[in-house]
């Protein structure tokens, strides 16, 4: 379902596709919500009424909402952990350990590890 947002004439029309979720409640009523906007939910006696109420509520709420982008200012200095990148690059012992771990991870061995080993 495509919802046409009401925007001023100076702005082009915007289409936003959303997913409506319709749930049949135990009491026979219907709950309708929007997957992408979980705060929008209505309950009605019929499925069609729930959908219509949800659409009207959503469009009304959107007429009061402004979505803006914000570029979060981050420190220009590199993260502290970056100083350790590559520290084991030429360490043969470390490479041997990593090769052993990789071999265990890719092994087709279906045997279980003895749980008493970890107790």
Report all structural domains of the chain as residue ranges with CATH numbers, in order of start.
Answer: 2-62 (3.30.160)
Which positions ≥6 away from 20 have C-beta within 8 Å?
A: 1, 32, 33, 34, 35, 51, 54
Contact assessment for residue 21 and residue 33, using Cβ atoms and an 8 Å cutoff:
yes
Please give the model's pTM, rounded to 2 decimal places: 0.48
Indicate if the pLDDT at residue 9 is higher than 80: no
55-107 pLDDT tens trace: 999 999 888 888 888 888 877 788 888 888 888 888 889 889 988 888 888 87
């Amino acid at each position: 379902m495509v919802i046409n947002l009401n925007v001023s004439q100076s702005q082009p029309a915007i289409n936003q596709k959303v997913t409506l979720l319709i749930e049949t409640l135990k009491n026979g009523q219907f709950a309708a919500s929007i997957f992408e906007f979980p705060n929008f939910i209505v309950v009605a006696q019929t499925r069609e009424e729930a959908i219509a109420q949800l659409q009207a509520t959503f469009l009304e709420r959107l007429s009061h909402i402004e979505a803006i982008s914000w570029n979060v200012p981050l420190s220009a200095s590199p993260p502290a952990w970056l100083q350790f990148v590559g520290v084991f690059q030429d360490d043969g012992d470390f490479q041997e350990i990593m090769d052993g771990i990789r071999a265990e991870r890719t092994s087709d061995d279906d045997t279980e590890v003895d749980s008493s080993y970890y107790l």
